[in-house]
Amino acid sequence: MGGASAWPYKSTSRNRGLVLLALGVVKVATAEQLRQLVLPGTADVQTVRNVCKDLRSVGLGESVGRTSFTGESGRPVWRDLWNLTTAGLASAATELGRPVKEIGGTARDAAKAGAPHALAVTDTIDAFRQSPPQPTKPIARRTAPAPPRELPTRPPGLGHLRGWETEVPLPVSGTFTTPARGSLRADAVLTAPEAGVPVLFVEVDNHTEPDAVVARKVESYRRFFERTTKDHRDRPVPFWQTLWDPSDRDGHPPLALVFGKNDVSPESRMNRMKKIRDLSTACWQGVWHSGSVYDDTVQDGYRDYSGTIPVLATTLDQLRLHGPHGPVWWRYGHPGWETLQDALDNPDDVRGYRHREEQRRTERDTQRERERQEQQEAESRREAAAWPCPTCGRKVFPDDDDDEETRLPGSDCTFCTSTKKREQQEAEALAAEEAAAREEAKKNGLFGFLR
Ranges of residues in the chain whose predicted pLDDT is under 50: 1-4, 141, 449
CB of 54 closer than 8 Å to CB of 7: yes
Evaluated on CA atoms 55, 57, 61, 63, the torsion sign reads: positive
In the chain the first and final C-alpha atoms are separated, in Å, by: 159
* pLDDT for the residue numbered 413: 85
* pLDDT for the residue numbered 1: 45
Residue 176 to residue 165: CA distance in whole angstroms: 13
Q: Is the pTM of this model over 0.85?
A: no
H/E element holding 109?
A: helix 108-112
Helix and strand totals (H; E) in the chain: 13, 16
* pLDDT for the residue numbered 231: 86
CB of 211 closer than 8 Å to CB of 279: yes
Q: How many of the other CB atoms lie within 10 Å of CB of 291?
A: 15
* pLDDT for the residue numbered 5: 61
Residues near 23 by beta carbon (within 8 Å), at least 6 away in sequence: 29, 34, 61, 82, 83, 84, 88, 92
* pLDDT for the residue numbered 2: 47
Closest C-alpha among 245, 146, 152, 237 to residue 190: 245
* pLDDT for the residue numbered 297: 64
Burial of 316 (0-12, 13-18, 19+ CB in 10 A): buried
